[in-house]
Amino acid sequence: MTSAFLIRPIEPRDNAAMAAIIRVVMPEFGADGPGFAIHDAEVDTLHAAYSQPRSSYFVVERDGVVIGGGGVAPLQNGEPDVCELRKMYFLPAARGIGAGSAMMQRCLDAARAHGFKRCYLETLTGMDAAQVLYKRSGFTTLRAPLGGTGHFSCDRFFIREL
């Protein structure tokens, strides 16, 4: 059964909710040490960070409450036609309701609209449900990271053509 949810562009009022989600979800998967996105400066200011050129961030809302989010932006120190799927995290309330697939589609559509040709992502062993979504969405594994995100603790890398 699918619960109704809304995916919309992030607004400044969503910054605190998304920062809290990131800080709850990442430790759930052991991703709270050095070299993980939880320490990125943009965590507290996602709206501003994704208001930059060729960047988009969306939140999942259900019953007026933000329960997850995800976005795309140029891959740091990467080729200009490659974006990165970034900060895609969901509270347990957003899992299993189709929000991940819907968010993935929204992010890939935004990446195409920004003119990217490929989408890259980094993740971690143990984020198994996420990796199933990535593979189901057409991502293939890479042996090594691309660009220079600073997320040196990630150990799984994926890419897909857009």
| Mean predicted lDDT score pLDDT of the chain | 94
Which secondary-structure segment (H or E) carries 132? helix 128-136
Coil, helix or strand for 66? strand
pLDDT number for residue 37: 86
CATH number assigned to the domain with residue range 6-161, chosen from the 4 options 3.40.50.1220, 3.40.50.1460, 2.40.30.30, 3.40.630.30: 3.40.630.30
User: CA 24: distance to chain centroid?
Assistant: 15
The token pair at 21 is 């989600």
Q: How many angstroms separate the most distant Cα atoms in the chain?
A: 42
- How far, in Å, are 4, 43, 54 from residue 102 at the CA level? 12, 22, 20
Of 72-76, 112-116, 127-131, the poorest mean pLDDT is in: 127-131
The 10 Å Cβ neighbour count of residue 77 is: 10
The token pair at 64 is 């007026």
Which secondary-structure segment (H or E) carries 124? none
**pLDDT greater than 60 at residue 62:** yes
Q: What is the dihedral of CA 57, 62, 65, 68, to 10 degrees?
A: -40
**pLDDT greater than 90 at residue 71:** yes
User: What's the rounded Cα separation, in Å, for the pair 143 and 113?
Assistant: 28
The residues with which 118 forms a beta bridge, in sequence order, are 82, 161
pLDDT number for residue 3: 65
Residue carrying the six token digits 């490659």: 82
Which residues, including other chains, have CB under 8 Å from residue 58's CB and lie 6 or more apart?
7, 8, 9, 10, 69, 70, 71, 103, 106, 107, 110
**pLDDT greater than 90 at residue 66:** yes
pLDDT number for residue 1: 42
Picking from 83, 70, 74, the residue whose alpha carbon sits closest to that of residue 118 is 83
